[in-house]
Amino acid sequence: MSLQDRNPYRQLPDDADIIATLHDVKSIMFLLAYKMGKEAQLTDEGIADLNRFAKMLRNIETRKDMTWQILDEAKAEEFVDLLVKERLAREEDVGDSPPFLFSTRLMELKHHWQEQRTTAPRPQPWDPSFSTTYIKPLTSGDEAAASLTELGMTAAELAGCDEAFADHLRRRRRVISYLEQHPADPTGWEPAPGVTMAEAMKDSNSTTDPESVAKSELWVPIYRSAADIDHLELLTPPGWKDPEDPALSPEEKTNVQESNEKAHKARLESKTDPSRNAQSTVGFQGFARHS
């Protein structure tokens, strides 16, 4: 299988339900990471926040519509791991007591997703089943069907979510439109699932040279997640345009192929001059503008 066949970067499925699920999961996880990490206060407002955080976490615990791609694109594991570390680094507060039990529940969710990787092997990102294989929920509950408003998200928070998600999708479409045509180099290689290091090394003539391992079916490439837009923008020419961008004028759409070819050529030339590479620090920060 060639590297082109193992290109993990592709556009999201053209499915409104999948996009809506990604929007909600990404929004919930970001809000929990951004606000749940703060010290809980024994005030009416503080307890109200804990109650809505508990509902949002239960939503994640009970969802049946979360695929491996959605889990990855929403950075759900990354956010849960961040929250676990934050809570372990401080003394227990009211959020760790019944009925909330945040530390315990977050740890259980983290272990559940890790277990799912082995009991129901996680497809590789370039495998079509990565977008269609659903992850077993941790538990059951009515919160899975609740809207963000029903879970307690405020109008300002929801506005931040919507704005940040729309920006994320726009940026994602642009970088993926480039990486689909011009695959990125792997960041590394590892033995394929079920293959030992010794078996993989033997198959690649005892070397981890990229050209050697790329020819072996016992090695699989490692890539940054498609959710890491900041990083992927560094791999995309600044002048590259998404051919499907509705903001393009009719004239730009007519000339987009030519302008994109020039942008790609300029990027290839800039590889020998790091000072010409673009930098991006924009993140999923909608709440910061609307809190």
| Domain shared by 94 and 179, yes or no | no
Residues 148, 253 within the same domain: no
Residue 58 lies in a domain: yes
Q: Give pLDDT, residue 231.
A: 94
pLDDT number for residue 285 = 38
Report if residue 2 sits inside a domain.
no
List beta partners, residue 221: 189
Dist CA 97 CA 93 (whole Å): 7
Question: Is residue 45 located within the same domain as residue 119?
Answer: yes
- What pLDDT sits at residue 279? 37
Within a domain: 243? yes
Q: At what angle do helices 16-31 and 155-179 cross, to 10 degrees?
A: 120
Half-sphere exposure of 49 (CA within 13 A, CB side): 18
pLDDT at 90: 76
Q: Are 91 and 168 in contact (CB under 8 A)?
A: no
- CA nearest to 23, candidates 225, 167, 231: 167
Q: Which tokens sit at 60? A: 């994640």
Q: What's the CA gap between 67 and 58, in Å, rounded? A: 17
CA distance 260 to 250: 15
Task: At 11, list the tokens.
Answer: 């556009």
Within a 13 Å sphere around the CA of 291, how many CA atoms are in the beta-carbon half? Answer: 8
* d(C-alpha 94, C-alpha 109), whole Å: 20
Q: How far apart are CA 110 and CA 81, in angstroms?
A: 7
pLDDT value of residue 47 = 81
Q: Is residue 216 part of a domain?
A: no
Domain range for 263: 169-184+223-290
Is 103:74 a contact under the CB 8 Å cutoff?
no
Helix axes 44-62, 16-31, angle to 10 degrees: 140
Query: Do 135 and 21 fall into the same domain?
Result: yes
102 assigned to some structural domain: yes
Per the structure, how many domains does the chain have?
2
Could you tell me if residue 212 is inside a domain?
Answer: no
Spatial contact of 53 and 79, defined as CB atoms under 8 Å apart: no
Low-confidence ranges of the chain (pLDDT < 50): 273-291
Whether residue 174 sits in one domain with residue 148: no
User: Looking at residue 41, what is its pLDDT?
Assistant: 57
Cα angle 17, 19, 24 (rounded to 5 degrees) comes to 95
Tokens 């642009």 locate to 174
